Amino acid sequence: MSAADERARWSTLLPQTPIRFAPDFAWGVASSAFQAEGGDVPNDWVEAARAGRVPPNPGNGFWTRGEEDLRLVASLGLRHYRMSVEWSRVEPERGRFDASALDHYRALCDAAAAAGVTPWVNLFHFTHPRWVAESGGLLAIANRDAFLRYVEHVGRALAPHARHFHVSNESMVYVLTAYLMGVNPPFVQDATSAFTMTRHVLALHADAHRILKALVPQPTVATIEVYLDARPEDPADALQRQAAERFDAWYHGTLLEALATGWIRLPGREPEEIPHLRGALDLYGFNYYNATSFGAQGPGSWSDLADPPVDGMRRRVFPGGLEDGLVRVATALPGVPLLVTENGCPTDDETFRIRYLASHFAALDRARARGADVRGYFHWTAVDNYEWHEGFGAHARFGLIGFDPATQERSVKRSGRWLAEVISRSVLDPAGVP
> Would you say 277 and 205 are in contact if contact means Cβ atoms under 8 Å apart?
yes
**CB-based burial of residue 372 (10 Å sphere; 0-12 exposed, 13-18 middle, 19+ buried)?**
buried
CB-side exposure of 33: number of CA atoms within 13 Å?
A: 27
What is the pLDDT, as a whole number, of residue 324? Answer: 98
Contact indicator for 147, 138 with CB cutoff of 8 Å: yes
Alpha-carbon gap, residue 319 to 336, rounded angstroms: 22
Q: Which CATH class is domain 3-248+283-427?
A: alpha beta
Measured distance CA(322)–CA(363) in Å, rounded: 6
Identify the H or E element spanning 412: strand 410-412
The SS3 of residue 286 is strand
Residues 6+ apart with CB under 8 A from 316: 290, 291, 301, 302, 303, 305, 308, 309, 310
Q: Give the per-residue SS3 of 205-263.
A: HHHHHHHHHCCCCCCEEECCEECCCEEECCCCCHHHHHHHHHHHHHHHHHHHHHHHHCE
Report phi then psi at 65, rounded to 5: -115, 20
Question: Phi-psi region for residue 182, left (φ > 0), alpha (ψ -120 to 50) or beta?
Answer: left
Please say whether the beta carbons of 323 and 405 come within 8 A.
no
Pick from 168, 153, 227, 178: which is nearest to 203 by CA? Answer: 168
Instruction: Give the tens place of pLDDT for each residue, 249-288.
Output: 999 999 999 999 999 999 999 999 999 999 999 999 999 9
Which of these, 43, 42, 53, lies nearest to 388 by C-alpha position? 53
Across the chain, which has 434 residues, the per-10-residue mean pLDDT values are: 89 98 98 98 98 98 98 98 98 98 98 98 98 98 98 98 98 98 98 98 98 97 98 97 97 98 96 98 98 95 97 98 98 98 98 98 98 98 98 96 96 98 98 97
The H or E element spanning position 338 is strand 338-342
- Strand pairing partners for 298? 295
Residues near 55 by beta carbon (within 8 Å), at least 6 away in sequence: 49, 386, 389, 390, 391, 392
| Structural contact between residues 88 and 130, judged by C-beta atoms closer than 8 angstroms | yes
Q: How far is CA 162 from CA 77, 89, 205, 212, 409, in A?
A: 20, 19, 19, 12, 28
Q: Is the dihedral of CA 419, 308, 347, 321 positive or negative?
A: positive
| Spatial distance between the Cα atoms of 321 and 319, rounded to a whole number of angstroms | 5
pLDDT at position 4: 87
- Residue 2 has a pLDDT of 87
Return the domain boundaries, the chain.
Answer: 3-248+283-427
The string of pLDDT tens digits covering residues 55-71 is 999 999 999 999 999 99
